[in-house]
A and B are shown apart, each in its own frame.
Chain A
Amino acid sequence: EVQLVESGGGLVQPGGSLRLSCVTSGFIFSYYYMGWVRQAPGKGLEWVANIKADGGETFYVDSVRGRFTISRDNAKNTLYLQMNSLRAEDTALYYCVRYVRGNNYYFDYWGQGTVATVSS
């Protein structure tokens, strides 16, 4: 059974940092691109970042580029999101997602999410 379990969220002041983790199981982690998608309270879905299976390439939405860093440890089956210089508008539920790329492209599995709240 595929599982994605996020952690690391919390309350942080503007300008602060958080590191989110996503521990995975039930599939060969090193075979898949992975990503993060966030959802602000009462709002829709916003893709944040993706990373190639080998970690060799990363992709970001403009609003977080230069502040957030996605990374992975394939030996630990774990995905990370380092979030620096946090702003109030980064407050959201952050989902870890598995990204399928082949004839079609889609996020097939989602974690339960971890909440990051940026407030003074």
Chain B
Amino acid sequence: DIQLTQSPSFLSASVGDRVTITCRASQGISGHLAWYQQKPGKAPKLLIYGTSTLQSGVPSGFSGSGSGTDFTLTISSLQPEDFATYYCLQFKSYPLTSGGGTKVEIE
């Protein structure tokens, strides 16, 4: 099974900050990585797929990068509505697996 290690698990930041979340896979996943945002009481929302493709309707302040086993989600300037929990998921092989999540809170 492919393990995804997400870091940090918790992040305190201010509006306007640049935020970076990392996701490391236990083996290569050929770029088949997606990022999701989840707010309390809501279903996860797709932000980025295929490592770096922004889902339609997602603000351009979100970006994804990476290759091999190391991937990054960046929020260029944190907005009030961005405070949420973020997950990476790999779609390279079954079982599909998720990182443990990163909770972004207001500093």
- A: residues with CB less than 8 A from B are 44-47, 50, 59-62, 95, 100, 103-108, 110-113
Count the A-B residue pairs with Cβ separation under 8 angstroms: how many? 56
A15 to chain B, nearest CB (A): 24
- B: residues with CB less than 8 A from A are 32, 34, 36, 43-46, 49-50, 53, 55, 87, 89, 91, 94-101
Q: In the complex the two chains form, is B97's CB within 8 Å of A47's CB?
A: yes
Instruction: Point out the residues of chain B lying under 8 angstroms from A104, CB to CB.
Output: 32, 49-50, 53, 91
Indicate which residue in B43, B91, B100 contacts A113 across the interface (CB closer than 8 Å): B43
- Give me 11 A-to-B residue pairs in the complex whose CB atoms sit less than 8 angstroms apart, sorted by A's number: A47-B96, A59-B94, A95-B43, A95-B44, A104-B53, A106-B34, A106-B91, A108-B46, A108-B49, A110-B44, A112-B43
Determine the residue in chain B with the shortest Cβ distance to A99. Answer: B91
Please measure, in the bound complex, the distance between the C-alpha atom of A13 and the C-alpha atom of B77, giving whole angstroms: 47
A75 to chain B, nearest CB (A): 26
